[in-house]
Structure 1
Amino acid sequence: MAAQTARFRDVFAVGEFRVLWIAQTQSRIGDQFARVALALLVFERTSSAALTALVYASTYLPPLLVAPLLAGLADRYPRRTVMWTVEVLRAVLIGVMAIPAVPLPVLAVLVVAVSCPDPLFSAARIATLPRVLPDGRYQVGMSISSSTDGIAQIAGFALGGVIVAATGSPHLVLALDAVSFLVSAALLRWGLRPHLPEPDSAGSSSRASGFALAGIRLVAGNRNLMGLASLVWMFGFFVVPEAMAAPYAAELGEGEAAVGLLMAADVVGMVVGALLVARLRTGLRRRLTVPLAFAAGLPLVATLVAPGLPGTVALWALSGLLSSYLVLAQVRFVQLVPDGMRARAVGFAAAGLQTAQGLGMVIAGGLAEAMSPSAAIAVCGAAGSLGAVVIGLVFGLATPDEPQAPERSQALAEDRTEPSRA
Structure 2
Amino acid sequence: MQSSAPTILRVESLESGQARRVLAVPDFRRLWLVGLVGSVARWLEMLVIGVVVYQATDSALLVAAMTLLRMLPMGLFGAILGVMADRVPRRGALLAVLVLQAVAVGELVLADLLGTLAVWQIALASLLGGLGWATDNPVRRMLIGEAVGPARMSQAMSLDVMASNASRVAGPALGGTLLALLGPGAAFGLCLLFHLVSFATALRLTVGTTVERQRSRGVLQEMRESFAFALHHPRLRAVLLVTIVFNLSAWPCTSMIPVIGQSGLGLGPEGVGILASMDGLGALVGAALVGAFVAPHRHAAIYVGGTIIYLAMMAGFALSPSPLLAGLLLVAVGVGGAGFASMQATLIYLSAPPEQRSRALGVLSTAIGTGLLGFLQLGLLAESLGAATATAVVCAQGILVLAATWSVWKPLFQQD
Assess same fold via TM > 0.5: yes
CA-to-aligned-CA distance 1:307-337 (integer Å, 9 cap, x gap): 3111111112212212213322321111112
Residue in 1 that maps onto 2:268: 255
Provide closer, same or farther for how the CA distance between residues 132 and 320 of structure 1 changes in structure 2, counting only shifts above 3 A.
same
The amino acid across from 1:265 in the alignment is M
| Aligned CA distance change for structure 1 residues 107 and 317 (closer, same or farther; 3 Å) | closer
2:202 to 180, 183, 188: 188
Selected match of 1:211 from 217, 222, 225: 222
Summarize the Cα distance change of 1:186–1:97 in structure 2 as closer, same or farther, 3 Å threshold. Answer: same
- What is the correspondence of 1:42-121 to structure 2 with a 5 Å cutoff? 42-100=53-111, 101=114, 104=118, 105-121=120-136
2:285 to 247, 260, 272: 272
Q: Which runs of 5+ in 2 are unaligned?
A: 1-8
Per-residue CA distance 1:20-73 (angstroms, 9 max, x = gap): 011111122222232222111111122222222222332222321122222222
1:86-235 map, 5 Å: 86-100=97-111, 101=114, 104=118, 105-168=120-183, 170-194=184-208, 196=210, 198-199=212-213, 206-235=217-246
SS at structure 2 position matched to 1:77? coil
Cα contact 2:165–2:283 (8 A) shared by 1: yes
CA deviations over 1:177-231 (Å, ceiling 9, x no partner): 233223212211223323545438xxx8612321344322221222221210121
Percentage identity across aligned positions?
23
What amino acid sits opposite 1:23 in the alignment?
V
TM-score (norm 2): 0.87
- 332, 347, 362: which is aligned to 2:347? 332
Distance 2:321 2:144 in 1: 41
What secondary structure is seen at the aligned counterpart in 1 of 2:72? Answer: coil
Secondary structure of residue in 1 paired with 2:207: coil
* Code of the aligned partner of 2:165: G
1:365 aligned onto 2:376 = no
- Which residue number corresponds to residue 405 of structure 1? none
**CA RMSD, 1 decimal:** 2.5
Alignment pair present for 1:41 and 2:52: yes
Map 1:310-389 → 2, pairs under 5 A: 310-323=324-337, 324-356=339-371, 358-389=372-403
Partners of 1:319 and 1:114 lie apart in 2 by 25
Offset, 1:240: 3.6
Cα drift, residue 94 of structure 1 = 2.6
Supply the distance in 1 between the matched residues of 2:105 and 2:270 (Cα, whole angstroms): 26
Please say if residues 205 and 211 of structure 1, whose CA atoms lie closer than 8 Å, have aligned partners that are also in contact: no
The answer on 1:14 being equivalent to 2:22 is no
- Decide whether aligned partners of structure 1 residues 57 and 262 sit closer, same or farther in structure 2, where only a CA change above 3 A counts: farther
1:4 aligns with 2:22: no
Displacement after TM superposition at 1:348 (Å): 2.1
Kindly indicate whether the alpha-carbon contact (under 8 Å) linking 1:71 and 1:119 is maintained by their aligned counterparts in 2: no
Q: TM-score, normalised by structure 1?
A: 0.86
SS at match of 2:203: helix
Q: Is the 8 A contact 2:301 2:413 kept in 1?
A: no
Inter-partner Cα distance in structure 2 for 1:211 and 1:339: 15
Per the TM alignment, residue 106 of structure 1 is displaced from its structure 2 partner at its CA by 4.6
Kindly tell me: are residues 194 and 251 of structure 1, through their superposed partners in 2, closer, same or farther at Cα, counting changes over 3 Å? closer
85-94 or 34-43, larger mean C-alpha shift: 85-94
2:255 to 227, 233, 243: 243
- Residue 103 of structure 1 deviates from its aligned partner by 6.3
Partner of 1:416: none
How far is 1:401 from its partner? Answer: 4.3
Change (3 A) 1:122 1:304: closer
The one-letter code of the counterpart of 1:230 is L
* Counterpart amino acid of residue 345 in structure 2: Q
| One-letter code aligned to 2:359 | R
Alpha-carbon contact 2:67-2:126 (below 8 Å) kept = no
- The amino acid of 1:116's aligned partner reads L
- Using the alignment, how far apart are the partners of 2:341 and 2:407 within structure 1? 18
Q: Secondary structure at the match of 2:12?
A: helix
AA in 2 matched with 1:188:
A
Q: Deviations over 1:354-389 (max 9, x none)?
A: 441x43333222222222322212112212222233
Contact 1:297 1:384 in 2 (8 A): yes
Residue 44 of structure 1 aligns with an amino acid whose one-letter code is: Q
Confirm or deny: 8 A CA contact 2:40 2:171 kept in the other structure. yes
AA paired with 2:250? F
In structure 2, how many angstroms separate the alpha carbons of the residues matched to 1:128 and 1:276? Answer: 25
**Distance (whole Å) between structure 1 residues aligned to residue 219 and residue 347 of structure 2:** 28
Displacement after TM superposition at 1:397 (Å): 2.9
The 1:309/1:117 distance shift into structure 2, 3 A limit, reads same
Instruction: Tell me if structure 2 keeps the 8 A contact 1:198–1:340.
Output: no
- Residues 235 and 412 of structure 2 are in contact (CA less than 8 Å); yes or no, is this contact kept in structure 1? no
Distance in 1, matches of 2:117 and 2:314, equals 37
Residue 135 of structure 1, CA deviation: 4.9
SS in 2 for 1:117: helix
Give 3-state SS (helix, strand or coil) of 2:187's partner: helix
Return the alpha-carbon distance in structure 1 between the equivalents of residues 80 and 340 of structure 2: 28
Is the Cα contact below 8 Å between 2:43 and 2:168 reproduced in 1?
yes
Amino acid paired to 2:11: A
